[in-house]
Amino acid sequence: MKKNMGNADRIIRVLVAIVFAVLYFTKTVSGTAGIVLLVLGAVFLVTSVVSFCPLYLPFGIKTCKTKA
């Protein structure tokens, strides 16, 4: 897997994952919507750790800096 996520993208995803977790664990969002947010947050967290987003591939998106 080639990296296709830049640092800004990774930081934003981690912050969004934290917000989703806080919303779920404070019971602000519960039920099915809460579980969906929690799973989405986990996906954001994993993709930011590995610096790779599979959804970027079909669209040719690459937010990381290329080495010249």
Q: What is the residue extent of each domain of the chain?
A: 7-59
Q: What is the mean pLDDT of residues 7-28?
A: 96
Lookup result for tokens 């917000």: 19
Q: Are 61 and 4 in contact (CB under 8 A)?
A: yes
Q: Are 48 and 10 in contact (CB under 8 A)?
A: yes
Percentage of residues of the chain with pLDDT beyond 90 = 78
Q: What pLDDT was estimated at residue 67?
A: 66
Q: What pLDDT was estimated at residue 10?
A: 94
Q: Which two tokens stand for residue 10?
A: 């990774």
Indicate the pTM of the whole model: 0.86
Distance between CA 10 and CA 63 in Å, rounded?
10
For residue 48, give Cα distances in angstroms to 26, 27, 28, 29, 33. 24, 25, 25, 23, 22
User: Is pLDDT above 60 for 68?
Assistant: no
Q: What pLDDT was estimated at residue 47?
A: 95
